[in-house]
Amino acid sequence: MTIRHHILILALSLLLVACGEKRPSPPKFNSIDITNAKWGTDFRLTDHLGQPRSLSDFRGKAVAVFFGYVNCPDVCPTTLAKLAEVIRTLGKDAQRVQVLLVTLDPTRDTPDILQNYVPAFHPSFVGLYGDEQATEQIAKEFKVFYQRQKPDAHGFYTVDHGGGIFVFDPQGRIRLFIGDEHSTDVITRDIKTLLAQSDGKSGQ
C-alpha cells in the first residue's frame, strides 16, 4: 500500500469521525424564528401602575410582547386569553414568563384603564403605555402597523393594527414571532424550548 493510499484512508477516517460527532442542533420552533433581528431591541414606557419600564426590567424571563388596545373587539382579547391559557399550562415555568400589552390607543388607554383591563386576563400581565410620540416610536421599532379609524357619530373608533406576539429570551434577545394562527399548544412548546435553551438544555 502506498503512502498516498495511507493518506487517503486517514483522511476518510477523520471525515467519518467528524460526521459521527454529535453536535448540538439548534432549537426547533413551531412559530417564526426571528433570532438576530436588528430591530425590537428595547422600549421605555410606563406600566399600568405608573412605573417606568424598559425591556431590561424583565431580564431573566421570557417576555411575550403584544400590541393592541382595550376597545379592540376581536384579536386583542382573543390573544390575551390565549396567553393566559399558556401561562396556566406552563406550570412552574410560568414564573419565568412575562406577558406585556403595549397599547396602540394612548388617547383612551390611560394607565388606570389598563390597570382594570390587562390583569383581568391574568394577574401577572402588565399593560404598557406611552404618549402618542412614544407609541409611534415603539411601533416603528417593532415594525407594527396601526391606524386609528374615523370616529362614528358617538365618537367611538377602532384602531387597525397588525397582530402577532414578539417573544424575547431571558437574555433580552428577540427570538420569535407568533402569529394569530398559532395555537396555545404551539406557543407553550416554543416557550418551553426557549427556556430550555436558556438553561443550556435541549429544547423539547
pLDDT score at 71: 96
Q: How many CB atoms lie within 10 A of CB 114?
A: 25
| Amino acid 26: pLDDT | 61
Per-residue confidence (pLDDT) for residue 8, from 0 to 100: 43
Whether 105 and 148 have beta carbons less than 8 Å apart is answered as yes
d(CA 61, CA 98): 6
Query: Does the global pTM surpass 0.85?
Result: no
φ, ψ of residue 13 to 5 degrees: the values are -65, -45
Nearest-angstrom CA–CA distance, 175 and 35? 4
Q: What is the pLDDT of residue 35?
A: 92
Which pLDDT score, from 0 to 100, does residue 27 have?
A: 66
Q: Going along the chain, which residue ranges are E strands?
A: 32-33, 44-47, 52-54, 62-68, 97-103, 126-129, 146-148, 159-161, 165-168, 174-178
Q: Does 3.30.70.2860 match the CATH number of domain 28-198?
A: no
Grid coordinates representing 14 are 477523520
Segments of the chain with pLDDT less than 70: 1-27, 201-204
